[in-house]
Amino acid sequence: MDLAGKKIVLGLTGGIACYKAAEFTRAMSKAGASVQVVMTSAAMHFITPVTMQGLSGKPVFTDQWDARIGNNMPHIDLTRDADAIVIAPCSADFIFKLAHGACDDLLSTLCVARPATVPLLVAPAMNVEMWQNPATQRNLTQLLEDGIQLLGPDAGEQACGEVGMGRMLEADQLLEEVIASFQPKLLKGKRLLLTAGPTFEPIDPVRGITNLSSGKMGYAVARAAYEAGAEVTLVSGPTALTTPYGVRRISVQTAQQMHDIVMAQLAGADSGTDVFVAVAAVADWRVANASAQKLKKNADGSAPELVFEQNPDILATVAALPKPPYCVGFAAESENLLQYGEVKRIKKNVPLLVGNIGHDTFGKDDNQLVLFDADGHTSLPRAGKQQLARQLIAAIASRLI
């Protein structure tokens, strides 16, 4: 329930993308938000107020003289207890209105009359030529200067049959943007490189050695870092998880591949990585004599002889660089976490190490963490992994100051 307790005024303007606003409303409601829909007359050509009322559970407002508001001032009353106003879809015409402070209907008037503390987010939706038009770009520049946040747009096929920039983000992407808008930008301007998931070390083309890590904690940290304003690159072992919105993902299989990608990302003095977070459950060993073909059962029942060699220690290698980024390690132990965690932090030579009990967290949606640094250790009580990830990002940000 990432939007629990939040009150969102959702404005719809004219555009075929109004159909996405229906799913967006449903998604915000499922995330715990209370959604109040306001529609322009143009929007009602594409979707009905009845549909939006059914999805939001609230009466839809379309008229600035609506008598359902006791003082006939919906442009005032609808925003006074709002946490944010989101315009999705936002047409080229409505972008013009916002840029010039027009007040010729309910939605434009309530945007101008909103308290300065209420953020305004707009999701542009228009034809590619309209998006590229110099007048539209001038208006968008003005919106940014006025502190209005743009959500998208995206590039792709458009309803008119043309292809290009101007397509409104999908409902799930808009939801992630709105959730992120409420998170403090503690890592704004920072670059974060992160590993997540298990690694898989082949025995033969169909078998291998891996572990029970689902990648959920690492993906939650990647999402939390993006919400905090960071540019995030995620190097991921094999998982069934969807890449967090706004995060660049590089998929690998083995520990050696993960090591090589991480070092390539950090190569050069201008790599610009500020923080490295090693969340992945990396295999300590790989099979040195992996077979090129599937191993068959021996007639005498004996098992094949596997020869192991040690994988590179990614975290220790990064921490030993001449100018390393701020390094955060993860330790998954099965016992004696407080003892082993501090020993591992010192051994890896990292300023911050995050410990947890592996078999109590692998594959689960919740976790409990212990943060180890030079001053001792701090416990983060059991909670959802996304909540813990946001707490961890805040802890990292506080140490970068």
Domain with CATH 3.40.50.10300 in the chain: 191-400
Q: Using one digit for the tens of pLDDT, what is the confidence trace for 240-250?
A: 999 999 999 99
Ramachandran bin of 295, using left for φ above 0, alpha for ψ from -120 to 50, beta for the remaining angles: beta
Please give the pLDDT value at position 329. Answer: 94
pLDDT of residue 268: 67
Runs of H (alpha helix) within 273-336:
314-319
CATH class held by domain 7-181: alpha beta
pLDDT at 159: 84
For residues 129 and 163, the answer to whether their CB atoms sit within 8 Å is: no
pLDDT reported for residue 269: 53
**Residue 160 catalytic?**
yes
Confidence at residue 339, expressed as pLDDT on a 0 to 100 scale? 78
* Residues 251-273 pLDDT 10s: 999 999 999 999 999 986 567 89
In the chain, residues under CATH classification 3.40.50.1950 are 7-181
Enter the pTM of the model.
Answer: 0.90
Reading the block at residue 346, the tokens are: 């010192």
pLDDT for 110: 95
* Catalytic residue (one of 18, 103, 160, 327): 160
In this structure, the dihedral spanned by the alpha carbons of residues 377, 383, 386 and 392, taken in order and rounded to 10 degrees, is -10
Cα–chain-centroid distance for residue 330? 20
With 0-12 / 13-18 / 19 or more C-beta atoms within 10 angstroms meaning exposed / middle / buried, residue 72 is: middle
- So what's the pLDDT on residue 368? 87
- The distance from CA 260 to its chain's CA centroid, rounded to whole angstroms, is 25
C-alpha distance from residue 396 to each of 29, 75, 267, 325, 341 (Å): 31, 41, 23, 12, 17
Average pLDDT, whole number, for the chain?
93
Q: Which pLDDT value is given to residue 211?
A: 87
What angle, rounded to 10 degrees, do the helices at 18-30 and 49-56 form?
A: 10
317 half-sphere exposure, CB direction, 13 A CA radius: 16
pLDDT value of position 97:
97
CATH superfamily ID and name for 191-400: CoaB-like (3.40.50.10300)
Distance CA 366, CA 383 (A): 5
Parallel/antiparallel/unpaired status of strands 84-90 and 7-12: parallel
C-alpha distance from residue 209 to each of 258, 308, 311 (Å): 15, 11, 13
Our separate counts of H helices and E strands in the chain read 13, 19
Q: CA angle, 39 as apex, 33 and 45 as ends, to 5°? A: 130
Residue 340 CB neighbours (<10 A): 15
Low-confidence ranges of the chain (pLDDT < 50): none
CB atoms within 10 A of CB 103: 15
Q: What is the pLDDT of residues 32-82, one digit of tens each?
A: 999 999 999 999 999 999 999 999 999 999 998 888 877 778 888 899 999
